[in-house]
Amino acid sequence: MLVTDFHFDLPEELIAQSPPAIRGSSRMLVLDRESGQYQDNFFRNLPEILRSGDLLILNDSRVLPARLYATRARGLQTQRNSPDPSGRIEVLLTQQLAANEWTALVRPSRKIQPGERLLFSAPDESEPLLQAEIIGASEFGERTLRFDPTPDFHAILNKIGHMPLPPYIHRDDSQEDRDRYQTVFSHEAGSAAAPTAGLHFTPEILAQLKQNGVQIETITLHVGLGTFQPVRAEKLEDIRLHAEHYTLPAATAEAINKALSDGRRVIAAGTTTTRTLEHCAQLAGGMPLAAHSGQTSIFIAPGHPFRIVSGLLTNFHLPQSTLLMLVSAFAGSEKGREAVLAAYVHAVKQKYRFFSYGDCMLLL
């Protein structure tokens, strides 16, 4: 299959630029995987749609304020010659490699090469709070940074960092994003983007789900570089994703094993959760799941045999994206793509809000 097989026309005005006024008030398009039929609904009705005995898996990764702004340590003259008149270098931390080492996207990347040092300051302070050396470079603007040791790195990050809103949100981050670009159940810090299907949940909806007999467990997948990179291949078989770190806790592994044994549904909240669970299933090779941590670069496309996930809650995704391919795969190996694209056309006509701060879709 070709990447262009997953194209749809999306008006710019349907790309949500801000979260809904009230968390949990989003619309939800429900797609029946067997019939391909869809129905308009609201996320607040999820507790009535899921069944008692369903197992709902959430990604509890917490988004870091991972967008930083730096100056080069070479002096003012270099800054004047920079394409950015302010001399500002944008650094987006995407994955922690070691105690003080991170992979990052750097702009303008062509000017920032290994051996250079970057200084990170608060807007109201002249002395840098963080310093880092570029120790590696790869294509597409990726750099490896080694920060000078500091006892309070994350405290400084929280002070000077910005929430890493996606590039299709055409505004600076605000204080509101510190809360709204974060799920209410986020716990394990490490993501460079939000697991956006989880943004719809409120404490009240989670409580209602439990009251209705839905079991809730978590995994952790830290969303990394792949979220920010466009697909550059023409054929699906040529697509390669960046590896992301995940953890499958013991309680979740046990709950999944029991649900599968009982014939109960496992509902994944988000594509990050889906990728983690399906990777773990491949790794187990038909054996019961066991608690572990690791890296996954699994790419799920039509034809993938889903071994764990039997229901998927997800936001609406970019045209020709790997996430849209995953959703199409889950909708069915033969006609799933057509069913999902038809549902997307309906969502466009009905003016659903798209992408990170947008509405959602439930496939059962």
pLDDT at 132 over 50: yes
Q: What is the pLDDT of residues 301-323, one digit of tens each?
A: 999 999 999 999 999 999 999 99
- The CA distance from 26 to 189, in Å, is 25
What average pLDDT score do residues 220-235 get?
84
Q: How confident is the model at residue 228 (pLDDT cuts 50, 70, 90)?
A: low
Q: What are the residues whose beta carbons fall under 8 Å from the beta carbon of 339, sequence distance 6 or more?
A: 31, 33, 36, 331, 332
Residue positions counted in the chain: 364
Q: Please state, rounded to an integer, the average pLDDT across all residues of the chain.
A: 93
- Cα angle 28, 33, 38 (rounded to 5 degrees) comes to 40
- The CA distance from 330 to 274, in Å, is 10
Helix/strand/coil percent split, the chain, to 5: 30, 25, 45
pLDDT at 83 over 90: no
Label residue 119 exposed, middle or buried (CB < 10 Å: 0-12, 13-18, 19+).
Answer: middle
Find out whether 104 and 120 touch, Cβ atoms under 8 Å: no
Find out whether 363 and 327 touch, Cβ atoms under 8 Å: yes
Question: For the chain, which domains are there?
Answer: 3-63+177-363 (3.40.1780.10), 67-160 (2.40.10.240)
Q: What is the pLDDT of residues 66-79, one digit of tens each?
A: 999 999 886 544 44
pLDDT at 127 over 90: no
Report the share of the chain in percent with pLDDT over 90. Answer: 84
Q: What is the pLDDT of residues 161-172, one digit of tens each?
A: 999 999 999 999
pLDDT score for 185: 98
What average pLDDT score do residues 150-167 get?
94
Label residue 229 exposed, middle or buried (CB < 10 Å: 0-12, 13-18, 19+).
Answer: middle
pLDDT score for 111: 81
Q: How many CA atoms lie within 13 A of 177 on its CB side?
A: 23
The DSSP output letter for 234 is S
- The CA distance from 250 to 259, in Å, is 14
What average pLDDT score do residues 280-305 get?
96
pLDDT at 334 over 60: yes
pLDDT at 357 over 50: yes
pLDDT score for 81: 39
What average pLDDT score do residues 141-162 get?
93
Q: How far is CA 341 from CA 7, 79, 266, 332, 336, in A?
A: 8, 47, 24, 12, 8
- Residue 260 structure tokens: 């599968």
What average pLDDT score do residues 248-255 get?
98
pLDDT at 282 over 80: yes
